[in-house]
Amino acid sequence: MAFIQTIPETDAQGQLADLYRRFGNPDGSIDSVLKAHSLNPDSLEAHCTLYTQSMHKPSPVSRAEREMVGITVSRINACAYCLQHHAAGLERLLPEDRKPLVNPLKAGDESALTPRERAMTAYAAKLTTQPAAITERDIQTLRDAALTDREILDVAQAAAYFAYANRIVLGLGAALEPRHAIGQWPDT
């Protein structure tokens, strides 16, 4: 339940019904963060486009690395909704031997991350808390951790997406869904 009116799946019509079909979960349910846009289907579509581009399109930054960035930003912004969804997503993406890093990362412990991953999450943290303080030195730190400029762009985009998503969730009161497994959309 959000702080604002939302349109349930059963009442969706036209463009909204189409978007719910496209971006809904396999069981037909719609994540609360998406349902928060239901009064403005164009906003829902824009959100999903940005999410898909930032988190699921091909990138030299792995999906797992982008989830680590999302967890970092969501933890800093105290967005439990995104933190839970994307921790579940990260756990699905990691090999068995790396799964134990998820809970410590959610709590801010990055000791199990690789130097590359720590560089990305440190940059995401600074971009979240002090965006005006980012300098070329921060970019050089990422390059020193062997990130290319394309990878740096993709890390910045993932961090910026979560700044946006966290504010939609927190600002509109999107509640964590108890009915289905979280962190599943989209499957590709």
pLDDT the model gives residue 182: 52
Does the predicted model carry a pTM greater than 0.75? yes
- Whole-number Å distance between alpha carbons of 32 and 4: 11
Alpha helices, H only, 10-148: 14-23, 32-35, 41-55, 63-76, 80-93, 102-106, 115-129, 136-144
What number does CATH give the domain 64-164? 1.20.1290.10
Model confidence pLDDT, tens digit, residues 71-87 = 999 999 999 999 999 99
- Whole-number Å distance between alpha carbons of 37 and 33: 7
Radius of gyration over every alpha carbon of the chain, rounded to an integer in angstroms = 17
**Residues whose CB is less than 8 angstroms from the CB of residue 76 and which lie 6 or more positions away in sequence, other chains included:** 125, 128, 129
Q: Which pair of tokens denotes residue 122?
A: 């440190």
Model confidence pLDDT, tens digit, residues 19-65 = 999 999 888 889 999 999 999 999 999 999 999 999 999 999 999 99
